[in-house]
Structure 1
Amino acid sequence: MTRRPVVAAAAAAVVISPVLLAGCTEKGSSEGAIAVTSTADACDLATTEATTGNVDFAITNSGDKVTEFYVYGNNNRVLGEVENIGPGLSGNLTVEIVEPGTYTVACKPGMVGTGIRTELNVGGERKEKADVPADVTAAKAQYLEYVRNQLNTLHAQTTSFVDSVKKGDLDAARAQFGLTRTPYERIEPVAESFPDLDPAIDMRWDDTEDGTQPFTGFHRLERFLWPPQPAEIGDAAGQITPSDAANAKATDNPQAIAEIADGLLANVTRLRDSVSKPDFEFETLSFVKGPQALIDEVAATKVDGEEDRYSHTDLWDIAANLDGSETAIATMQPIISAKNPALMDKITAQFTTARDSVNRYRNGDGYVSYIEVTPEQRKELSTQIDALSATLSQVPGIVLQQ
């Protein structure tokens, strides 16, 4: 899921604990945890003081919208998160904080906007990071090589796509759109660790707080290339809201779009260069949870046609999320197979089922418009995705088991 940027004040390093994983439950939570209550207009912590070591959070959504909870570290990096906490539900998160300092946490009711932020003051002495198994570290290094290759491809394809947009060759740009986005969709867990770049590149209209925040990135260009049509405007899932359509009519002109295109390429370049740095760190828990996170992206924003609501190129994104998830699992396959071969066999079979379903909609080198996929077919795909997500939820515990 794309995110709006949040300004963090943290100046120290955080490492996600590889032992205690984030999750959502119907009732609240961890003994000794900092209780967090999220409502429509508040993010209340029982205490804003903590000590270095494992810091537990028990988040309760007392509002009427789905919420998220984040922990931010140095350079505004997302270092821990719990997403999709429904009204009345709870989520737990543990982060290992090894440096004393001031950190930022945020609740995001409605999963949009900059979030409701609170500072967390962490005292105590500096501690050593918890050990991560050597085979997991090696798998993560292999995965990051894949990510860097994908970002090189993303940069090259975005350069060509932006050139087509700015030259006014809109037919070429439309033909390039799905393919250009594919590398980004494959590596979203890494991109989402940059809370300024991810929304700038991949935000949707929903993330603009109904137009009060700038609308940038791929989907702003998508809207220009496929202007909202009267039959597509409405408030149902996958439709274009009236305010979105009105904003498109008022602001989507060649001059403004050229600036958006330049901004997209600049942000893709920044993302590529940031991840390419030798000292780039990707949190281990984010890595082992990545395969499920990518599949949950399909369930949250793609099966209903919400992601590419103007172009209906959602099948490109779904296929790319499957690609990225399966590749991440491939780097961990020796670990999973050694510890739980039956689980690895089940994961492989479920990937095959989901992949076969998506491949039914191949059209030449691409995919048919998502509007050609019937509600019944979408339901079938959704069921397969949900089953795969449930199985992948077991991966972090298996992989990080000492």
Structure 2
Amino acid sequence: MTISSRSLGVLAVTGAAVLVLSGCVAKEDTAATAAFDVSSTDSDCAVSAATAESGTLTFDVSNDTDQVSEFYLLADDGLRIVGEVENIAPAASRTLTVVVQPGDYFTLCKPGMVGDGVGKAAFTVTGDPVAVDGPDAEQKTKAVDLYAAFVKDQVGQLVPAVEELVAAYQSGDDATARTLFPQTRAFYERIEPVAEALGDLDPRIDFREVDAVADGLDWTGFHRIEKDLWVPAQDALNADGETPAWQGWAPSTPEERADYGDLLLADVQELYDYVHSDDFTTTLEDQGIAGVSNGAIALLDEVATGKISGEEDWWSGTDLFDFAANVEGSKMAFSLVQDFATAQGDDGAALVDEIESGYAALESSLATHGSLADGFVGYTTLTADDKRELTDLINALAEPLSQLTATVLD
């Protein structure tokens, strides 16, 4: 049986296009080949034209709302960020300057800097490929900046998604909450290593029951809510495979649901505040390009250690949603550093080819079970052969991916 899902507002990473590592460039560093006016309103993101020739483009963004806004140029998958300008104050203007290769893109504004954004529209770039120049250190800094923008975007969409999930959960609308649960978690799963670096924040948001008990922690977060939404059967075992699921268990009261929902809201807000803080910027700058590369590796490790076993979403069986989101986040981080690996010569180029092939094979296999946009089958419907195939593909990708950081830093 397929678990239905509303659109996540972003498309899965399926294209072979590589994100331009030049990213945002300082206006004085390059002469613009074309300039566009953008009006960010509460309901629209009006761009003065929808086509351009490849090269350096500038977007002069006016914030015509009464709240802080952002503007994005997204890649053809609707997920990867090619360039963005944020923190545009009401009635103020900011300029995004970005080198853009031929291809299909989207423009998007995000008033309030949360949610899916408004006025998403196609933007087409024609012409010849552009040679990207610039010192290696500068290029790596821009890749780190783009990864930071991706993280902020995902957390910005996570906040209202959690608000909607919690509202349904607290009101007792379990059918709606069950539909929202895997969709909401996808935003978190794409950037999970960021939260994991913040001490007990990830445990508060995302610990399984067995992990919380083992660490002597109060069990809160997504999976505490999950168990209320998918009440375990009388003969079910806990995630440790030994403890009866009903041992010491009772469904949460309305008051308890209110508390668990409010705690999740507060923890996700803390994550949002962190990724928009100077501390987050400093951390990414300190980690540099290795941090982005290691993020790709860490997210695939998330799949290998939790999702493929079916123990992450133990009660709902929605593990494949988490699986797909982890792979998307991993591939996004990889796309930002792959050119640095390729630049290391034949061995680096061969490594990139092997990693790209690994992602393609894994995504193809995963697609036979559904998608984030249309829903995945429940994890318990996978056969032993299905799980073995996915495991083998993860392992085949993990081996070359583990070499990525060392290659990038050569």
The TM-score with structure 1 as length reference comes to 0.63
Distance, in Å, in 1 between the alignment partners of 2:241 and 2:258 is 23
1:155-170 aligned at under 5 Å gives the runs 155-170=159-174
- 1:386 equivalent to 2:391? Answer no
Go from structure 1 to structure 2 and tell me whether the alpha carbon gap of 1:383 and 1:144 turns closer, same or farther (over 3 Å shift): same
**Does the CA contact (< 8 Å) of 2:230 and 2:316 recur in 1?**
yes
Aligned-pair CA distance for 1:368: 0.8
Question: Which among 305, 308, 324 is matched to residue 313 of structure 2?
Answer: 308
Aligned-pair CA distance for 1:211: 8.5
- Residues 265-306 of structure 1, C-alpha deviation per residue, up to 9 Å, x if partnerless? 110011011111144223334432111111111111111100
Q: 2:408 is aligned with what amino acid? A: V
- 1:221 equivalent to 2:225? Answer yes
**Does the CA contact (< 8 Å) of 1:232 and 1:239 recur in 2?**
no
Distance, in Å, in 2 between the alignment partners of 1:365 and 1:393 is 31
**Does the CA contact (< 8 Å) of 2:321 and 2:376 recur in 1?**
yes
Distance, in Å, in 1 between the alignment partners of 2:195 and 2:228 is 24
Alignment correspondent of 2:337: 332
Distance, in Å, in 2 between the alignment partners of 1:334 and 1:258 is 48
- Residues 32-80 of structure 1, C-alpha deviation per residue, up to 9 Å, x if partnerless? xxxxxxxxxxxxxxxxxxxxxxxxxxxxxxxxxxxxxxxxxxxxxxxxx
Aligned-pair CA distance for 1:245: 3.1
Aligned-pair CA distance for 1:255: 1.8
1:288-299 aligned at under 5 Å gives the runs 288-299=293-304
Go from structure 1 to structure 2 and tell me whether the alpha carbon gap of 1:188 and 1:211 turns closer, same or farther (over 3 Å shift): closer
Q: 1:270 is aligned with what amino acid? A: E
Q: 2:312 is aligned with what amino acid? A: E
Unaligned 5+ segments in structure 2 are 1-135
**Does the CA contact (< 8 Å) of 1:205 and 1:244 recur in 2?**
no
Question: Which among 172, 195, 208 is matched to residue 199 of structure 2?
Answer: 195
Aligned length: 266
1:111-190 aligned at under 5 Å gives the runs 133-190=137-194
- Residues 219-276 of structure 1, C-alpha deviation per residue, up to 9 Å, x if partnerless? 0000110011134316xxx566526532432x63332122111100110011011111
Distance, in Å, in 2 between the alignment partners of 1:277 and 1:263 is 21
Alignment correspondent of 1:287: 292
- 1:261 equivalent to 2:266? Answer no
Which segment is superposed worse, 306-315 or 202-211? 202-211
Q: 1:139 is aligned with what amino acid? A: A
**Does the CA contact (< 8 Å) of 1:313 and 1:369 recur in 2?**
yes
Aligned-pair CA distance for 1:181: 0.2
Distance, in Å, in 2 between the alignment partners of 1:210 and 1:247 is 16
3-state SS of 2:198 partner: coil
Aligned-pair CA distance for 1:209: 2.5
- Residues 95-116 of structure 1, C-alpha deviation per residue, up to 9 Å, x if partnerless? xxxxxxxxxxxxxxxxxxxxxx
Distance, in Å, in 2 between the alignment partners of 1:179 and 1:239 is 26
Distance, in Å, in 2 between the alignment partners of 1:199 and 1:211 is 10
Question: Which among 350, 357, 367 is matched to residue 365 of structure 2?
Answer: 357
- Residues 301-348 of structure 1, C-alpha deviation per residue, up to 9 Å, x if partnerless? 111100001000000000000000000011112212222111111111
**Does the CA contact (< 8 Å) of 2:237 and 2:244 recur in 1?**
no
Alignment correspondent of 1:399: 408
Q: 2:362 is aligned with what amino acid? A: A
**Does the CA contact (< 8 Å) of 2:157 and 2:187 recur in 1?**
yes
Distance, in Å, in 2 between the alignment partners of 1:198 and 1:142 is 23
Q: 2:357 is aligned with what amino acid? A: A
**Does the CA contact (< 8 Å) of 1:205 and 1:215 recur in 2?**
yes
Alignment correspondent of 1:368: 377
Distance, in Å, in 1 between the alignment partners of 2:252 and 2:214 is 16
- 1:322 equivalent to 2:323? Answer no
3-state SS of 1:245 partner: coil
Distance, in Å, in 2 between the alignment partners of 1:210 and 1:244 is 16
- Residues 108-143 of structure 1, C-alpha deviation per residue, up to 9 Å, x if partnerless? xxxxxxxxxxxxxxxxxxxxxxxx944333211111
Alignment correspondent of 1:248: 249
Go from structure 1 to structure 2 and tell me whether the alpha carbon gap of 1:279 and 1:194 turns closer, same or farther (over 3 Å shift): closer
3-state SS of 1:194 partner: coil
- Residues 136-189 of structure 1, C-alpha deviation per residue, up to 9 Å, x if partnerless? 332111111000000001111001101111111110000000000001100011
**Does the CA contact (< 8 Å) of 1:189 and 1:287 recur in 2?**
no
3-state SS of 2:247 partner: helix
Unaligned 5+ segments in structure 1 are 1-131
Q: 2:236 is aligned with what amino acid? A: E
3-state SS of 1:232 partner: coil
3-state SS of 2:246 partner: helix
**Does the CA contact (< 8 Å) of 2:292 and 2:337 recur in 1?**
no
The TM-score with structure 2 as length reference comes to 0.62
Distance, in Å, in 2 between the alignment partners of 1:205 and 1:286 is 30
